[in-house]
Each structure stands twice: as C-alpha cells, then as structure tokens.
C-alpha cells in the first residue's frame, strides 16, 4: 500500500481554518477528528501489508505523524518536515508521540515537539525518520519500484515480520522470543518458504506467490 498526497504536498496538517470556524465547539470537533484519525492509524499498524509513505513537499503536523506510522518512507529531495503542533498551541496527535521517541530518542523527540522547527529530507533520513531520499522528479518512479519489489516478495513473511516488530515495542525479551519461534514456524508451512529455501540451495532467485 502506498500513501501519497496531492497538489504537491504529502499532508500539511489539520485544517486550521475549520478549527477557528468551530472554535466555540472546538472540543467536540477535535475529539471527533482525532477519533477517526486514530482509528485509521490503528488499522494501518494492524494491516498485514507493508505501507509506504511517498512524501513530496510538506509533511507537517498530522502529516508528519502519518508518515511515521507508515512502515517505510521514500521522499523527494525537496520535501520538508515539522511536527508543527505547538505553533498553534496544541500537543501532537496521530501517533506522533508514540513513534517519534522510538525513532529518534526521547531528547530529540522533545526538541522536535517543543520547538517545531522545520527540517529537510536529508536531516529526516539522518534521524531515521525516512528510508530513502530521491530526486523530486524520480519520486513516483522510485515509489513504484519499491512497491513492486515488496509486492513480489514473500508477503506472508512480511505480514508476520510486521506483527513481530510492532509487538516488540511492548514485549519482554522472553515473550518476543516465543513470538518469533511461533512466527517462523508458521512461515515454514507456506509455499513461499518451500520455494525460498529451494531457490537458495539452487542458487536461484526465488519466486514468491504469497501463499
């Protein structure tokens, strides 16, 4: 699955104009918006398919949070990032405070959250927030290439790996090791595992079919 924006930006954050229009009933508005948004984030993390964020232009506020919630991020060289929330007197939503300290560490997360400074794609890559930086005019082609590579891979193994990686954030070592044992045992029963191991021994490229 690929998530991308339209109109030259990934996502510039919430509609501040709507917030101001509804300022007299803003609490209910924000609760409703975040409830729907957060439901989507949970669905993304539970989805067995890999999710790629393809970022051009701004990934700001909720857009920054959304990108962090994706499995991988590929970005155009001129893309830029800011958590932005404190600039309007708000705290983050959309999983920003969950993923950010896990990716960059607590002190850096505090800095990016409090100061809400804007930074570029190379800095985002250095911090581990994105995986690949490509020329702006190559973003679509490189995104399609990455998506095709994942789609032709062992998708059942990807699903199990995603489940394990997500669970690791809250598991003890012993619990995680048991989950890994069960996961690889489940993968060993798939046709992809049979094809993959046979191809490896034959020094051939495997063909995976997602079953």
Do 131 and 108 contact (CB within 8 A), yes or no?
A: no
Classify each residue of 89-124 as buried b or exposed e, where b means 16 or more C-beta atoms within 10 Å of its C-beta: eeebbbbbbbbbbeebeeeebeebbeebeeeebeeb
Determine which one of 36, 93, 117, 192 is catalytic: 93
Determine which one of 38, 71, 136, 137 is catalytic: 38
Calpha distance 211→202 (Å, rounded) = 21
Do 57 and 8 contact (CB within 8 A), yes or no?
A: yes
Q: Which of 63, 131, 122 is nearest to 96 (CA)?
A: 63
Per the annotation, the verdict on 4 as an active-site residue is: no
Q: Token pair for residue 108?
A: 């850096």
Calpha distance 129→67 (Å, rounded) = 8
Calpha distance 129→74 (Å, rounded) = 10
Per the annotation, the verdict on 38 as an active-site residue is: yes
Q: Tell me which residues are annotated as active site.
A: 38, 93
């Amino acid at each position: 699955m690929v998530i991308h924006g339209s109109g030259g930006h990934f996502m510039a954050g919430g509609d501040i104009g709507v917030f101001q229009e509804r300022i007299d009933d803003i609490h209910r508005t924000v609760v409703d918006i975040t409830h729907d948004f957060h439901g989507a984030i949970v669905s993304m993390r539970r989805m067995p398919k890999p999710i790629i964020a393809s970022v051009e232009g701004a990934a700001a506020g909720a857009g920054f949070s959304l990108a962090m919630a994706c499995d991988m991020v590929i970005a155009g060289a001129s893309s830029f990032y800011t958590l932005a929330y404190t600039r309007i007197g708000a705290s983050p939503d959309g999983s920003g405070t969950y993923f950010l300290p896990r990716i960059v560490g607590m002190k850096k997360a505090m800095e990016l959250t409090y100061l809400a400074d804007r930074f570029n794609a190379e800095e985002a890559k250095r911090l581990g927030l994105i995986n690949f930086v490509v020329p702006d005019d190559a973003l679509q082609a490189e995104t399609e290439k990455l998506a095709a590579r994942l789609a032709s891979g062992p998708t059942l193994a990807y699903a199990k790996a995603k489940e394990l990686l997500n669970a690791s954030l809250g598991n003890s070592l012993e619990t995680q090791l048991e989950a890994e044992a069960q996961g690889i045992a489940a993968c060993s029963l798939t046709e992809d595992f049979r094809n993959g191991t046979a191809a490896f021994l034959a020094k051939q490229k495997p063909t995976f079919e997602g079953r």
